[in-house]
Structure 1
Amino acid sequence: MQNHFTKNIDRTPFSTVKYDLRKVLFGTEDIIPLWVADMDLPTAPEITEALIKRLEHPIYGYTLQDNSFWQSAIDWIDKRHQWKVHRKDFVFVAGIVPALGFLVEAFTQPKEKVGIFSPVYPPFRDNIVGNDRTLVEIPFINTDNRYFIDFDLFEEELKNGLKLLIFCHPHNPSGRVWSKEELEKILQLCDQYDCNIISDEIHADLMFYGHKHIPFASLSDVAEKRVVTCMAPSKTFNLAGLNCAYLIFKNKELQDKYVNRVKHMHLDFGGLMATESMKAAYNQGENWYQDLLKHIQGNIDYIVEQFDKTPIKAMKPDATYLVWLDCRALGTQNQIKEFFFKKAKVGVQDGLMFGIAGDGFMRLNTAYPKSVLEEAMKRILNQLE
């Protein structure tokens, strides 16, 4: 493994969400921010070189996503996930979160029921409620510090009129990878009760401990009919600020519904930097990517081991660079936040942001140089003594 990820790089001069919001979120700037899900690690040098080369041309006009752009995604998905997708299946989006909102609008009517399994990534909830749909939260079953789907409750909600499921695959915040059997059960129930599925697979490339990602829509003809897939290079290659993502539709009827919703706003094509970064990432970033996986898995092992003999229980993730912390032994959510933010001075993310099922939990990002995590754990462990 090359030494890409040992240097602590200062991001404060460049208006970064993670650092500039410390005072707002945690009450102080004297805090190690381990919250928002981007990496404090440099992207692949091949991506930087490609962007510099393009910027040397002094005209930065409207940019199309040409065949080479889409072929890079087709090849990456085939190699990484053994799923055959085609140019006609894709629609560009500037980010999965805004696309979720338009998908909800395209596939449901106001007041209709849209479901999520909870706890889950906060913008799922925001895009349902903000679009005047009825939010249905289906809590996971927590067994031995691992989440499982309550299929009985899920079926009850489907019987009660659930029209759309927004599904996190792999799961954020717990890092849970869903098995083929679980996916098939979700699909069987959704097809039985006429419910479509938006599958957010943005963390699909970040698999650890031998786990394998199964693209939901790849399961069967029924899955192709029911599932819209959301993917991006942004989590894998730390490109979130470049606004590059895409949707995959195997069902042209669903694709047309979405495109008809966004096309007049010109939201189905993207910018110059997004285009160049994705091509470089998928075509040239393999070696860096493999080094990243080793680095992140080492960091996860370290964090889980450090919490092992404390009152805080770390839910070891199968995927993602996020660790979900069960902190209920520390007291109420306000007491937990005071412990991390005011005592330990470590800015993990408030579990209640992920829904009521996140009460008593916090989310920690491991995508840092190990030295940063070591300092954060030193602060936490000192306060637990």
Structure 2
Amino acid sequence: MKLTPSTLSLALLAALAAPAAHAEIAIDVIGNSEVSFEGLVQADFYSFDTDLNDYGADTAGSDVDGDDYLNELRRAELVLKGKGPGNIEWVLGYDAKDDKFLDANVKYKFGNNANHFIQVGQFKQPGATMEELSSTKNNDFISKASITNSLGTPRRLGVQYNFGDANWAITASYFGRELTRNREHGSGYSVRGYWAPINEAGSIFHLGASYTDKDTDADFIRLRARPMADMVSLRYVDTGSSGLRASDRNSVIGAEALWVTGPFKMQAEYMTTDVKRYGNFDDFSGDGFYVSGLWNITGETWGYKGGTPVTNLPEEPGVGLWQLGLRYDAFDLNDGNVIPPTTPGGSPTVDGILGGKMDSWTVGVNWYWRSNFKFMLNYVTVNQEKYNNASGFRRVVEDNPNIIEARAQFYW
């Protein structure tokens, strides 16, 4: 769905005029299950100061040097949730914008302990990043980190067992394909463990680690990253449409840390991926990380649930919760070398895969207004570089766009 600037403006005015609502809508008790309805609608706007490539959807091309923009509905999530009967909980979610199922599962809590349960259906895998496992409506920045979008395994059909307490847990899952047809495939397993030795109001310290191993299914995997703008289709940093053929299995190791003190939060995550290949092809390795800091200017702090930070509601709804954030993100898909030509005038050759590198800085301001509205403004500077086929692998070619990003969000 494409939104014109005037349509987006009208939608924002209508949202501002709407009365505040509760966080969810209670529907009824059906079959001893308390059923509620939740939703999340996001509209994004990007303005690009482009460099080598044109990242706008309307004028796809290359070798441009100017401005471009993109605005569109980002998410339209509709979710039914149920509590009961007994210790059973269930959820059925669908994203009408992306035309795909979200969480669709049944959970049984042992002894009514929220941190000791078994879950069957589609859910976020424990090998996803801490950022991915956190609630989407509370993202610190408009674009998630490059490792979250590129290396983590998100929702899949499977079974999961979680054992722990409020301060720690160990989670293990076995998964298959994604529920929506023609989406992600490849069976595998994932584990995550975390520990918060400090977990009290206004003071949290968390450490965690994860491991995922999965079949590449069609003996092929493609790793790539958007330039910190989620709706952009072009990825400059990319292992290529045929670069990682003859791939057998893909494993990812992750490490995470979180520190909260009063109105300040810092978190960091690192992931390294390894692709096992057969025949005469060498294995491939890539990695990435991010470090971010957030300051609640209005003084609120964060909660903690399931090994992830929880953003609290504004203490003064009329004023809202104001946040100022900064993030550094780095991603590396180079695992090879350029071999100089052996004869005069010859062409270099590549030993391995040179998918490129990317690093970026994001500065952001967030405003949570009352219980249902959120507005975000980000400025992103991106630096990308890779050996380009067009140059015959003779030199590194850079593409360094700057992006202004805005988001309006309504949730209940």
Q: What TM-score, normalized by structure 1, do the two folds share?
A: 0.29
Q: Which of the pair has more CA radius of gyration? A: 2
The structure, 1 or 2, with the larger RCO (C-alpha pairs under 8 Å, 6+ apart) is 1
**TM-score of the aligned structures, taking structure 2 as reference length:** 0.28
* Richer in strand (by share): 2
